[in-house]
Amino acid sequence: MLVSPMQRLGATAALLLLSGAPLVAAPTLRYVLAMPAPQTHYFEVEMQLSGVSGRSTEVKMPVWAPGSYLVREFAKNVEGFVAQGGGKDLQVDKINKNTWRIAHAGQKNLTVRYRVYANELSVRTSFVDASHGYLNGTSVFMYPEGQKQLPSIVEVRPATGWTEVSTSLKPLSNGPTFTFQASNYDELADSPFEIGNHKVLTFEANGTPHRIAMYGNANYNPERITADFKRICETSQQVVGQNPLDRYLFIIHNLERGGGGLEHLNSTTLEVSRNAYNTEAGYLGVLGLAAHEYFHLWNVKRIRPIALGPFDYDRENYTHMLWLSEGGTEYFSNQIVQRAGFIKPENYLNDLATGITRVENTPGNRVQSAAEASYDAWIKYYRPNENSPNAGISYYDKGEVIGAVLDLMIVQATNAQKSYDDVLRLLYDQYYKKLGRGFTDAEFQDAVAKVAGRRFDDFFARSVYGTTRLDYEGALGYAGLKLTNTITQPDASLGATISLTSGKPTVTNVVRDGSAWQGGLNVGDEILALDGLRATDDLSKALAGRAVRSTVRLLVTRDGQIRELSFPLLAGTAVRYRIEPVENATPAQLAVRRKWLQLKS
């Protein structure tokens, strides 16, 4: 029998009364969020904490937003922190970068007030201006140290003239006063708010109400987008086969330029180009982004590496498995778009071939493993420099192609009876539902082995935790498909990217082990002349048709000094893959293909 926290509290109170012990009320927490002058980009927060004990209380602001693996130091935007109790100002000391200590010496009811400057509109930060307000909880709401488990009430006071507040938190009142309930700080931190006069679209997916909060003008068709999102959601739910939702919210910001998405427990925020709806390719991109973030409901929020929750908001939370959490989600989201019928199987194969091409054309793929890329996300992925492609690989890109190869290996090992879907179902049942925790790296490999009926330890050691090239050809061959490099005769290549900087041709990237790398051309060099002729803004035309091993002479300026460089042009190493069916595929291969792509025939 399950006993709720309120039932346990009531039972404890009854025992205390019977024993004659004094009854101590449990602490309560309430937030009031206001934005009286939104054009100034400030949120005003009031935090009411009742029933505290001791002589001091510490409150903290997180340093990062789950799902975006970078320490962002949200406390840098906090101003005017004050605390009161019993109608008097209390002493406040800031004891480190994100913690304030309040001395209250017997006062049991505290009121904390502070302002947050919010002028960064991204899916991972907070923003308010004259048109709307958007916030992620970790960058606005503080919490009392050691009491993240406290439930809370959030009252939102929109700016004058604003009538909509959208969040996935449970509503208690919905205008003119907007109040919501969070079961603990983790839920509050994981439930963004959109506040203003945005349009709200609604639909049901397998009986669960879904809402889309649409901010910004864009040429979308409301009927089409709700119908298509419904297909995406219902197809996504079929992967794991269990729906953990009683409600879900999409927040979509339609902007001049889109900026991706961020997943949450029962919601997501998407940044979309307002022109994306005008073309089929752009619209497919919107659906793919929605599928990716929606599938995080399972893969990350409930099926997760053990490091990804409960969160430590004070520091980095390390895992070797972002290739699974993010790259694996990208793999499944692309599959979902195909399974839902938005693209044909051959288009999906073209997209997968593009993904393989992208990975294999990144020199860092041979330097950094997918596991290392995951672990170093905090210091590398969100802080790229001109050498990043040479030194590392995206755990999104590598994780997607790992997912494809692993899926095909599972389907082949089980004679087309099982797939990667079944691994996620096992993880969901075993770790989320039964044990209520995440899994370790070894437990993930055990789950794959249990579904496949055999272990793939060598595959993980070599191609996930090592940098051995994935056996794409072998895996695709299981499905009667072949991978072909369409570049059969590589041309001579400079091995560098030249871009116009202030109208001047400047080196912005040098490819590891290529011609420029070996010849001493540096990032930041301005190209003045090529083979004695003044450099143009398109050096590729001047180099076209050069023979491999022919010598190129460059005049460059570096740090204000003129330098002459001369080196041979090596053959380019770039690949361009396509995937196509083999002739006379066997029945076993066709069975694997049907299972993998979920084809009816």
pLDDT per residue as tens digits for the range 472-482: 999 999 999 99
User: By CB neighbour count within 10 A (0-12 exposed, 13-18 middle, 19+ buried), where does 394 fall?
Assistant: buried
pLDDT tens for residues 199-236? Answer: 999 999 999 999 999 999 999 999 999 999 999 999 99
User: By CB neighbour count within 10 A (0-12 exposed, 13-18 middle, 19+ buried), where does 106 fall?
Assistant: exposed
- Average pLDDT, integer, range 499-506: 91
Peptide bond between residue 176 and the one before it cis (omega within 30 degrees of 0): yes
Distances (CA, A) of 465 to 364, 371, 442, 469, 560: 14, 5, 12, 12, 44
pLDDT tens for residues 263-317? Answer: 999 999 999 999 999 999 999 999 999 999 999 999 999 999 999 999 999 999 9
Same fold, 298-485+585-601 and 492-571: no
Q: What's the mean per-residue pLDDT of the chain?
A: 94
- Cβ partners under 8 Å of residue 244, min gap 6: 297, 298, 302
Counting Cα atoms < 13 Å in the Cβ hemisphere of 281 gives: 2
Closest residue by Cα to residue 565 from 508, 526, 513: 526
* φ, ψ for residue 82, nearest 5 deg: -140, 160
In eight-state DSSP terms, residue 364 is G
**pLDDT at residue 41, as a whole number:** 98
**pLDDT at residue 8, as a whole number:** 41
Confidence grade of residue 25 (pLDDT, cut at 50, 70, 90)? low
pLDDT tens for residues 368-381? Answer: 999 999 999 999 99
Closest residue by Cα to residue 413 from 448, 453, 443: 453
Q: Provide the token pair at 63.
A: 């340093």
Q: Where are the alpha helices (DSSP H) in 340-419?
A: 345-360, 370-375, 388-391, 395-413
The edge-to-edge listing of strands for the beta sheet with 178-182 is 88-89, 78-85, 109-117, 42-50, 28-34, 152-157, 178-182, 170-174
pLDDT tens for residues 147-166? Answer: 999 999 999 999 999 999 99
CB 2 within 8 A of CB 8: no
Counting Cα atoms < 13 Å in the Cβ hemisphere of 393 gives: 35
Confidence grade of residue 15 (pLDDT, cut at 50, 70, 90)? very low
DSSP string, 224-256: HHHHHHHHHHHHHHHHH-----S-EEEEEEEES
CA–CA dist 18, 106 (Å, integer): 26
Confidence grade of residue 19 (pLDDT, cut at 50, 70, 90)? very low
- Cβ partners under 8 Å of residue 384, min gap 6: none
User: By CB neighbour count within 10 A (0-12 exposed, 13-18 middle, 19+ buried), where does 503 fall?
Assistant: exposed
Peptide bond between residue 384 and the one before it cis (omega within 30 degrees of 0): no
In eight-state DSSP terms, residue 276 is G
**pLDDT at residue 174, as a whole number:** 78
With a cut of 70, say whether residue 106 has pLDDT above it.
yes
pLDDT tens for residues 317-341? Answer: 999 999 999 999 999 999 999 999 9
Q: Residue type for 64, please?
A: W
**pLDDT at residue 296, as a whole number:** 98
pLDDT tens for residues 45-63? Answer: 999 999 999 999 999 999 9
**pLDDT at residue 541, as a whole number:** 83
Distances (CA, A) of 84 to 94, 107, 341, 484: 16, 9, 58, 70
- Average pLDDT, integer, range 108-114: 97
Beta strands in 118-247 (DSSP E): 127-128, 133-135, 143-144, 152-157, 164-166, 170-174, 178-182, 193-196, 199-205, 208-215
Helix (H, G, I), strand (E, B) or coil at 122: coil
Secondary structure of 526-578 in HEC code, one letter for each residue: EEEEECCEECCCCHHHHHCCCCCCCEEEEEEEECCEEEEEEEECEECCCCCEE
Give the angle subtended at the CA of 577 by the CAs of 478 and 357, to the nearest 5°: 105
Architecture of domain 198-295: Orthogonal Bundle (1.10)
Helix (H, G, I), strand (E, B) or coil at 281: helix
pLDDT tens for residues 550-579? Answer: 999 999 999 999 999 999 999 999 999 999
CA–CA dist 284, 419 (Å, integer): 25
**pLDDT at residue 198, as a whole number:** 98
Architecture of domain 27-196: Sandwich (2.60)
Closest residue by Cα to residue 210 from 268, 250, 179: 250
Buried b (16+ CB within 10 A) or exposed e, 444-472: bbebbbebbeeebeebbeebbeebeebeb
CATH number of 492-571: 2.30.42.10
Sorted by where each begins, the domain ranges of the chain are: 27-196, 198-295, 298-485+585-601, 492-571
In this structure, which topology does domain 298-485+585-601 adopt according to CATH? Neutral Protease; domain 2 (1.10.390)
Helix (H, G, I), strand (E, B) or coil at 306: coil
Confidence grade of residue 258 (pLDDT, cut at 50, 70, 90)? confident
- Average pLDDT, integer, range 436-461: 98
